[in-house]
Structure 1
Amino acid sequence: MGKYTIEEFINQTKQDEQENEYFELETPRILEVNLTDEVWAKAGSMISYNGQIKFEREKVLEHGVGKMFKKAFTGEGSSLMKASGRGSLYLADQGKKITIFDLDNESITVNGNDLLAFEPGIDWDIKLMKKVAGMLSGGLFNVTLKGSGKVAITSHYEPLTLLVKPGQPVITDPNATVAWSGHLTPEFRTDISFRTFLGRGSGESIQMEFSGEGFVIVQPFEEVYMSGSSSS
């Protein structure tokens, strides 16, 4: 196991040239975009491409003054790049597992650090979680995506979906929360006794509470967000 001839290794790990969906999981941790027009992706996520593809960083005013203003607070982790042209584009983010959603006139909110790519026709907006900006290193921000089309998100290891039901709120650790129903608005609360009981740092005392009806996606990993850069 783990020993191959070069030919065996190539056959086992080469890209599948038969697949032609717009978004394809080439491996669980590499996204293939079969580009015919353009796509928005997390800046720095390109690992390879072929064909005629041009890359551009998001222009300062490309999405309006409102989003530019919010981006000034969210740092490098929210930077986007636009890939335009025709060819195969391969994206990845620090080996994190990738999940593709096909939105059908729906909305989903994603932790900004966990958004990998989305179709340009999808409407999106950045929201800084102001209540926790001073409590967590660098704060937290999220991106709400609405409409129809493909969205790719990332998680450390396998994600778990928790269902939110009326009268049964779901409480999560912000650092382990990946995404949630677009119509849900989490409330933030601090629990000093919870922090003291665990004997951990101040970040453990902040919790997200989701009420109503929908879903929350969590990962078995607590990301640490650094101000002005994406986490490792």
Structure 2
Amino acid sequence: MTSTTFNAATLPANDNVNPYAFSVDLNGQWFTQKGKMIAYYGQIRFQALSAGPLDMLVAESFHSPLYAHDWIVAEGQGKLLLADRGFDINSYDLDKGNLTIRAANLLAFEPGLELKQSIIPGFLTLIGTGRFVAASNGPVHFVEPPIRVDPQALLGWADCPSPCHHYDHGYVRGVLGAARMMFGVGGTSGEEHQFDFTGEGTVLIQSSEHVTSSDAMLRELEGQIGMLGVPGLRQLHGTIAQRLAAEQQH
């Protein structure tokens, strides 16, 4: 078995090196998620979004405060190699588009795109014209609504309304479902709970139900706790305690 040895001149420009790595031909600035850069050639520096010289760039392109800690700006000239734990890597071009994607799977994007928080926890929305790079657990499939998708297989959606939650009738009305809703026992599979898409647009589905872990989603849920009030916080505390007890028995 032979392998190709690359250098700064032979690496592809804004294309895949292989299914698991992408080469950005950097000439200016890109937003990149922390930990996704595996190597680079050239004169490239990495700055936190809080850096003073980036104030204008961040004000124009980055509108997601809960995720700001996860991102940096790569600036300069050279080849920037991106990867994510052996997942499939692909780039996508938006042309005055609107695409929402799982936050943990978004690796990088051009400043021509604006990043906003989706109303669905754990997802981010890109708006405008430009390129972005994303990871998926297996190949990505593009499907049209109406469709219902396993939440763990959902990678994102483009140019269509946000999904609604759909719960299986047996889950809602059945004895087992009632017990799960009351005590938080057991997980929710794609057969019981789906995201329901309607209208025009495209839904992106990855080929596996394994989801990249995301501390950002936990932070987003924590950010909503303040709206519960004392009674809600007490109820949530009891539910979490019951769920932890049930999980420790498995």
Indicate the TM-score class for this superposition, using the shorter chain for normalisation: 0.7 to 0.9
The answer on 1:67 being equivalent to 2:64 is yes
Contact 1:56 1:81 in 2 (8 A): yes
Specify which of 168, 180, 190 is matched with residue 167 of structure 2: 190
Letter aligned with residue 228 of structure 1: D
Specify which of 84, 90, 113 is matched with residue 122 of structure 1: 113
Match of 2:126 in 1: 145
Match of 1:108 in 2: 99
Match of 1:216 in 2: 203
Q: Distance in 1 between matches of 2:119 and 2:202?
A: 20
- Taking the TM superposition and a 5 Å limit, the aligned residue runs for 1:1-232 are 2=1, 8-9=2-3, 12-14=4-6, 17-18=9-10, 21=13, 23-59=14-50, 63=58, 67-68=64-65, 70-71=66-67, 79-129=70-120, 140-164=121-145, 169-191=146-168, 193=170, 201-204=186-189, 205-224=192-211, 226=213, 228=215
1:115–1:91: structure 2 CA closer, same or farther, 3 Å change rule?
A: same
Please provide the CA RMSD for this pair.
Answer: 3.1
Matched residue SS, 2:139: coil
Number of positions where the alignment pairs a residue of Structure 1 with one of Structure 2: 201
- Give the % identical residues: 28
Q: Structure 2: 5+ residue runs without aligned partners?
A: 178-184, 218-250
Deviation at residue 47 of structure 1 after TM alignment: 0.3
Compute the TM-score of the two structures, normalised by the length of structure 1.
0.74
Deviation at residue 184 of structure 1 after TM alignment: 2.1
Q: Distance in 1 between matches of 2:210 and 2:137?
A: 9
Deviation at residue 115 of structure 1 after TM alignment: 0.7
More helix by share: 2
Deviation at residue 227 of structure 1 after TM alignment: 6.2
Q: Distance in 2 between matches of 1:185 and 1:229?
A: 20
1:183–1:162: structure 2 CA closer, same or farther, 3 Å change rule?
A: closer
1:226–1:115: structure 2 CA closer, same or farther, 3 Å change rule?
A: closer
Deviations 1:4-33 (A, max 9, x none): xxxx43xx3536835664x21111111101
- Segments of 4+ in structure 1 off by > 6 A? none
Deviations 1:187-208 (A, max 9, x none): 11333626969xx943213311
Deviations 1:109-162 (A, max 9, x none): 111111111101111101252xxxxxxxxxx41111111111111111111111
Letter aligned with residue 157 of structure 1: G
Contact 2:63 2:115 in 1 (8 A): no
Contact 1:145 1:182 in 2 (8 A): no
Contact 1:144 1:182 in 2 (8 A): no
Q: Distance in 1 between matches of 2:164 and 2:73?
A: 33
Q: Which moved more, 1:97-106 or 1:30-39?
A: 97-106
Compute the TM-score of the two structures, normalised by the length of structure 2.
0.69
Matched residue SS, 2:104: helix
